[in-house]
Structure 1
Amino acid sequence: MKFPSLFAVALASGTALSTCAFAQAQQPILELEGNLAYGVGNGGIGIFMPFLLDNGNGVFFDASGRFVEGSARQASFGMGYRHRVEGGWLLGGYGYLDVFNSEHGNSFNQLSFGVEALGPVYEARANVYLPLGDDKVAASLSHAFVSGSELKFQAGREFARAGADTEVGLRLPIFPESMNAEMKVFGGAYWYDGARGLDDTLGVKARTEVSFSGLPGVSGSTLALGASISYDNEDQTEFGLTARLRVPLGGSSRTGKAAFDPMFQRVERADFIRTYADSDGVTEAAEFVHGGQAVGKVVSISQAMGDATAINAALTTAGTNALVLANGGITLGQALQLGAGQHMVGGGGSIAVRGANSRIEVAFRNGGDAAKLTGTNAAANVVSMASGSEIAGLTITGGLAGIASSGTSNISIRDVDISKTAGDGIRLDNVTGATISGANIHDLYICNSNTNCEFAVGRPNRAPHAAIAALGTSGLTVRDTVIDSVTYGIFAGSRIDQSDWPEVITHAASDIVIDNVKISKSRREGILLVAANDVTMNKVTVDNSEQGLDMDLVVLQGTSNVSITDMTLKGGINGLMLVTASTLPENAVTTNVNVRGLTIDGTRNAGIFLNPVSGISFKDVTITNAGTYGAYIYGSEWDFLGGPVKNIDFGNMRVEGASKAGLYFSGPAENIRGDITVVDTPLNCLADQGAWSGTSLIQTDGSVLKLNGTAIEANKLKTTCK
């Protein structure tokens, strides 16, 4: 049962007792408490329900809930009996059930019993705490470690500790009898069992408390302010401050010093179940989170092993699903061949593993020297990955591609730094399922030759020298990645067979996610998608504003079913270009693109360029300082060239500071909708007036395009936009 439910049950039960069980039920006492120790606060709320018997003795029901700032919480409920004896003394006994939720997310139960002797001047009490249940797993304290040639997983553990405490105190006569206040001082000791190899915890404590009764407007209430100090062999010295308010619900006739009657005093006991947590739980086999396979042999590689041939021989011997620990600088004249299911982590890097039985995930860290792989052969990749393999925590420089994989599935690349390659940073060919995260790819070869390096629809399988090149790859995710000073940023395209006509897609680029990626100073396109399908781009920034030579920033060429959110584009020729080429396969059409949140600034040409596309939706778009137009709408009179630009929705779009016009129309356009605001721009819109262009606007199905709140009449496009 969860903490709130337990507390509610306790309160409900006490209320039922107060109305049914005893004829002399007293007003329930609401208690509010706050504590501060070493800057960490905890507090509580409770209800104390006393019942007086005919002989002057009493029983009580007590329910409370307590919490520690940002972590643990506890519900407690119990019952007790208090017996008056001669000399003004009161003897009592009580029992409690505690339910505790720890900062590690574990729930513990405990029975607690105590006795008390409360007198006019002196008082004493003792409590014992008896936990119920077994050890719990503390996931945050779990870890993995190498034992010989094996990787082991050891779960963290947490358990409740049996204990006892005792306390004696006295009231100091420092306040005059006429004043409704009292001061008490206490001293005591406590012990907690040192089970499971722990030392016993022994401690002493002292506290003082000043109480006042009769707060204005609250009959029978008391306010207590306290300070405490404790010392034990586990937590050393701790100080604390306490404030506690007790209010009889509905008021009380026990006013003045009667409000301090011990029959109605709170029970003093430990606020929380005491638990202990460490990393010494059950040891079990480990498995990789990526791929879910049991961790195989652990092997370390370094320059001391020799050249790439020797290292590859060691990797082959290690076998499938080996954990490869790469340490220090390693020079490679040919590709390091990572085998099936092998996971390589560099010194200082980490890799996700879990317990084969507990299923708890932890990060295993390679404690060796930082690994740097240097490729000395510009015609050879530095690392080649097989199916199910993973790379993490490596610096890679030189070689043809830093990391390459072909015809594989389910690979993972994390936390890598790649630079100075002669080809691509990461090259994926016909891969199914690939994740790239936390990569930093920078300072690659910059190709300025249009002949050699500019993408062309006549050769759609080639966009050379990309930070990430993924051809014919499906299930690709690129996230939390930074790309700087490269030729292309990210190229993802379907593999297209051009050996016959019509051309056909042999390996589709589909299910692509680009999330939280920053690209700067790309000589050519920052993101180029060709004949791709099912694409999600979120929090993508392409900033080429600091360079003179560049191309369009984000290009969707024959790409469909695309979602773009929170994109920022700076510099470049055109910011976002959507285009369909007639030379691509028939099913490679740019359509069904939804843009939600787009900021474009400082392009040399248009902010948005649309070239025979359809089914495009824009919302919350801001285009500033475009070199020509906010948006360029460029349709074709010929269906085989793509036909009109149609079914475009500009929702909440603002164009500011464009050098020529907010919108430019060339060729036929159909069903262009939206409400566009154009400010600080010479013209709201401009239409190509040449007869050869076939510029026209056809609006059906209620389509309306407004510029600064005024609808454009379709049959007056050329006269309105000039």
Structure 2
Amino acid sequence: MTFPKLFAAALITGTALSSHALAQVQQPILQFDGNLAYGRGSGGIGLFVPFLFDGGANGAFFDASGSFVEGSARQGSFGLGFRHRAANDWVYGAYGYFDTFNSDHGHSFNQLSFGAEALGPLYEARANVYLPLTDEKAIASLSRAFIAGDELKFRAGGEIARGGFDAEAGLRLPVFPQDIAAQIKVFGGTYWYDGKGAIDDTLGVRARAELSFAGLPGVSGSTLALGASVSYDKEDRTEFALTARLRVPLGGSSRTGQAAFDPMFQQVERADFLRTYAGATGAVETAEFVANGRTIGKVVAVSAATGDARAINAALAAAGGNALVLASGDIALGQTMQLGTGQYMLGGGGVIGVRGTTSRFEAAFRNDGAATRLAGSNPLANVVAMASGATIEHLAISGGLAGIASNGATGITVRDVEISRTAGDGIRLDNVSGALIEKTKIRDLTICNSNTDCEFAVGDPNRAPYAAISALGTSGLTIRDTVIDSVTYGIFAGSRIDDSGWPPVITHAATGIKLDNVAISKSRREGVLLVAANDVAMNKVTVDNSAQGLDMDLVVLQGTSNVAITDMTLKGGINGLMLVTASTLPEEARTTNVRVNGLTVDDTRNAGIFLNPVSDIHFRDVTITNAGTYGAFIYGSDWDFLGGPVKNVTFDKLRVENAAKAGLYFMGPAVDIGGDVTVKGTPRNCLVSSFGSYVNGSLTQPPGTALTLNGRELNGGNFKANCL
């Protein structure tokens, strides 16, 4: 039953009982409460219905009330009690209550409470016990992970109702004469609440004072009590509170003066609200990584205090598979740190998601160690080597040969890592299956200006040195939310090719390559170089080399097929997007089936797009501005063994502005070129390669294919007239 319905039931019951009480000449008492504790207010309204019998020596009462705390917590309480007046004017009582409570978290809890009281002319005492009836309520967001020994444990979040008791004793201070309808009382007491294993039990002390007045103007028998209290326990520390309580007999009362304070009609003193605790309340569970679902093994801490790389590797080996490695501070490494199978290295200040294996709730766990930097001092040794299933997160790496390396592994993750000043690659992956690199920054690596030493060549297809990310023979590679700056190559991903014989063969294919939200700037050579790759997706990739004088093409697809490019931005460089097929690559390494949807190219020294020779290439919504020569360079071959013509290409909404020479440039044969091209601010709409009277370019259009250039169709019949 909801709280409003319960409280309505209480008022109806109280009204029914009040009729009988009035027949006993005992008026029901309407009560209003207000409290202020630590700036948070609460209030309540209640109906106290007394019965007297045996000439007033004995009495019973029904008590119904509703209370609320500023916010959303509220409670309904329903109680029955009995009081006996002894010959010495002491009143002894006992009572029981049923409470229903709606917490700030939206949970409903019920409890029973029982109490006893002894109320004398000068002294009084009471005690209450609280017995919850409702089980724990789950709150996934309050779950918590914690280290116990060398293990990471988990407690599911929830809210519990806490059982407990309280007791107090007090006295009336002889401040006011008997003929003045006022009283001052002071009390001292204690309270205890069960933590139920989720937290420590709460034991506290409390003191309060209460000033009461009777006979307010116009309402006979009414009382007003003003109180102040202070309490202390280790959970809530010191708390102060102010209270006000107005009690008004319905229809007035003959109990005036000091008689208005008669204990037979006094308010029952008990806790205002059922006490709950919200936090990590569940049973202790085994924890697992949210990222990969593996159960977390041992927890091991590594820092400079652990020792050199040899000592750290011994500690990692002893921790075993799926260990959580908590790194802290600056760690100097003279040789490679070996991250074992399934091990998860988290730098100081890093936060990871963990999950309880039973509750399936999730929580964040933070490494409270100092910010971590791994510094490799040996330029011939990689700083970190990763085994299958390993993860490295939230730290910086500098020096060494490669910052991170992995060979033949499966399912590795690099997240929130900064890599700088390596002697070789930033990250090097060889024959890896399944790799995720995200939220990572790679900067200030070795810059190689030597064409002899560093330029990629199809005669040596497995080598693109000094790359921020080099992935050779790697499948299932995802790079996202990553920044690369001031490097030789940005991203090199290619199939491993054995060219020791003829024809060359792919031994480990580069497939399933995804680049998402990747920004590359100041790459001395290609920003993105894909060689003999297959199944590639590039979304929101930016290459900006406009701030440097020496550079190469920005994005190159060399013998790469089945590619989807969306929202790419290219600035600077020689050619923006180059699609090329080389005859020296394996037969299956052909650049074909490429879809580009959204491409902006600006300020290239040569062409915005370069095609040589490729097929099944389709562009949509492309803008090329300020190209140093041509908007698009279409370069086919007369020889099939060299790739043949450029064919089956469409330009859907290609716009070329302010190119230095022409919008489109044709060299060699072009077949089946369609779409619509707009050229503005450019000397020529199109050009064809020619040497004197020899024209080295052609356009052959099959039926149904149309290429419009500034609204006019360009075809084989008018090709020379328009483009010579």
TM over 0.5, yes or no?
A: yes
Question: Do the aligned partners of 2:611 and 2:634 also contact (CA within 8 Å) in 1?
Answer: yes
Distance 1:411 1:374 in 2: 21
> 1:275, CA displacement in angstroms?
8.2
> 1:339, CA displacement in angstroms?
1.2
> 1:161, CA displacement in angstroms?
9.5
> 1:349, CA displacement in angstroms?
1.7
Change (3 A) 1:523 1:688: same
Q: What is the match of residue 643 of structure 1? A: 644
Question: Do the aligned partners of 2:659 and 2:682 also contact (CA within 8 Å) in 1?
Answer: yes
Matched, 1:621 2:601: no
Q: What is the match of residue 347 of structure 2? A: 346
Q: What is the match of residue 250 of structure 2? A: none
TM-score (norm 2): 0.68
Distance 2:505 2:715 in 1: 42
Q: What is the match of residue 501 of structure 1? A: 502
- Three-state SS of the structure 2 residue aligned to 1:528 is strand
Q: What is the match of residue 367 of structure 1? A: 368
For 2:707, the aligned partner's letter is L
Change (3 A) 1:449 1:276: same
Matched, 1:705 2:721: no
Deviations 1:321-341 (A, max 9, x none): 211111111111110111111
Aligned length: 539
Please tell me whether Structure 1 or Structure 2 has the larger radius of gyration of its CA atoms: 2
Q: What is the match of residue 400 of structure 1? A: 401
> 1:318, CA displacement in angstroms?
1.5
Structure 2 counterpart of 1:717, from 702, 716, 719: 719
Distance 1:295 1:355 in 2: 10
Q: What is the match of residue 578 of structure 2? A: 577
For 2:623, the aligned partner's letter is T
- Three-state SS of the structure 1 residue aligned to 2:142 is strand
Change (3 A) 1:135 1:721: farther
For 2:284, the aligned partner's letter is T
For 2:558, the aligned partner's letter is Q
Q: What is the match of residue 154 of structure 1? A: 155
- Three-state SS of the structure 1 residue aligned to 2:465 is coil
- Three-state SS of the structure 2 residue aligned to 1:281 is strand
TM-score (norm 1): 0.68
Question: Do the aligned partners of 1:688 and 1:718 also contact (CA within 8 Å) in 2?
Answer: no
Q: What is the match of residue 601 of structure 2? A: 600
Q: What is the match of residue 319 of structure 1? A: 320
Q: What is the match of residue 296 of structure 2? A: 295
Change (3 A) 1:131 1:692: farther
Matched, 1:676 2:693: no
Change (3 A) 1:719 1:342: same
Deviations 1:579-626 (A, max 9, x none): 111111000111111111111111100011111111111111111111
Distance 1:547 1:73 in 2: 63
Change (3 A) 1:670 1:306: same
Distance 1:670 1:658 in 2: 24
- Three-state SS of the structure 1 residue aligned to 2:140 is strand
Task: State, as a whole percentage, how many aligned pairs show the same letter.
Answer: 65
Q: What is the match of residue 126 of structure 2? A: none
Deviations 1:422-473 (A, max 9, x none): 0000000000011011111000000000000000111110000000000000
Change (3 A) 1:396 1:671: same
In the TM superposition, 1:71-82 aligns within 5 A as: none
Deviations 1:21-51 (A, max 9, x none): xxxxxxxxxxxxxxxxxxxxxxxxxxxxxxx
Q: What is the match of residue 244 of structure 1? A: none
In the TM superposition, 1:484-499 aligns within 5 A as: 484-499=485-500
> 1:371, CA displacement in angstroms?
1.2
Q: What is the match of residue 252 of structure 1? A: none
For 2:720, the aligned partner's letter is K
Q: What is the match of residue 466 of structure 1? A: 467
Distance 1:584 1:393 in 2: 39
In the TM superposition, 1:351-500 aligns within 5 A as: 351-500=352-501
- Three-state SS of the structure 1 residue aligned to 2:326 is strand
> 1:300, CA displacement in angstroms?
1.1
Question: Do the aligned partners of 2:160 and 2:281 also contact (CA within 8 Å) in 1?
Answer: no
Question: Do the aligned partners of 1:424 and 1:469 also contact (CA within 8 Å) in 2?
Answer: yes
Question: Do the aligned partners of 1:158 and 1:278 also contact (CA within 8 Å) in 2?
Answer: yes
For 2:658, the aligned partner's letter is G
Question: Do the aligned partners of 1:108 and 1:133 also contact (CA within 8 Å) in 2?
Answer: no
Q: What is the match of residue 567 of structure 1? A: 568
> 1:200, CA displacement in angstroms?
12
Q: What is the match of residue 512 of structure 1? A: 513
Q: Which moved more, 1:694-703 or 1:566-575?
A: 694-703
Distance 1:161 1:674 in 2: 73
Matched, 1:139 2:140: yes
Question: Do the aligned partners of 2:700 and 2:715 also contact (CA within 8 Å) in 1?
Answer: no
Deviations 1:267-316 (A, max 9, x none): xxxxxx99863233332111223443221111111122222112111211
> 1:140, CA displacement in angstroms?
2.2
Distance 1:358 1:145 in 2: 16
Q: What is the match of residue 283 of structure 2? A: 282
- Three-state SS of the structure 2 residue aligned to 1:618 is strand
Deviations 1:403-426 (A, max 9, x none): 000011011111111100000000
Change (3 A) 1:569 1:111: same
Distance 1:696 1:686 in 2: 11
Distance 1:73 1:296 in 2: 41
Structure 1 unaligned spans of 5+: 4-67, 75-96, 113-129, 163-192, 203-230, 239-272
Q: What is the match of residue 528 of structure 2? A: 527
For 1:376, the aligned partner's letter is S
Q: What is the match of residue 553 of structure 1? A: 554
Q: What is the match of residue 254 of structure 1? A: none
- Three-state SS of the structure 2 residue aligned to 1:280 is strand
Distance 2:409 2:639 in 1: 41
Q: What is the match of residue 695 of structure 1? A: 697
Q: What is the match of residue 329 of structure 1? A: 330
- Three-state SS of the structure 1 residue aligned to 2:388 is coil
- Three-state SS of the structure 2 residue aligned to 1:651 is strand
Question: Do the aligned partners of 2:535 and 2:563 also contact (CA within 8 Å) in 1?
Answer: yes
For 2:445, the aligned partner's letter is L
Question: Do the aligned partners of 2:688 and 2:695 also contact (CA within 8 Å) in 1?
Answer: no
Question: Do the aligned partners of 2:559 and 2:589 also contact (CA within 8 Å) in 1?
Answer: yes
- Three-state SS of the structure 2 residue aligned to 1:379 is coil
> 1:370, CA displacement in angstroms?
1.2
> 1:156, CA displacement in angstroms?
1.5
> 1:159, CA displacement in angstroms?
5.5
Change (3 A) 1:701 1:365: farther
For 2:476, the aligned partner's letter is G
Change (3 A) 1:73 1:432: farther
Distance 1:675 1:131 in 2: 76
Distance 1:637 1:138 in 2: 70
> 1:683, CA displacement in angstroms?
1.0
> 1:660, CA displacement in angstroms?
0.8
Distance 1:714 1:237 in 2: 93
Change (3 A) 1:285 1:619: same
> 1:629, CA displacement in angstroms?
0.7
Distance 1:369 1:487 in 2: 32
Distance 1:637 1:406 in 2: 42
Q: What is the match of residue 589 of structure 2? A: 588
Change (3 A) 1:717 1:136: farther
- Three-state SS of the structure 2 residue aligned to 1:586 is coil
Change (3 A) 1:318 1:276: closer
Aligned alpha-carbon RMSD (Å): 3.9
Question: Do the aligned partners of 2:159 and 2:281 also contact (CA within 8 Å) in 1?
Answer: no
Structure 2 unaligned spans of 5+: 3-69, 75-99, 112-130, 164-191, 207-228, 242-273
Change (3 A) 1:357 1:664: same
Deviations 1:327-381 (A, max 9, x none): 1111111101111111111111233322112223333221111111111111110
Distance 1:475 1:359 in 2: 28
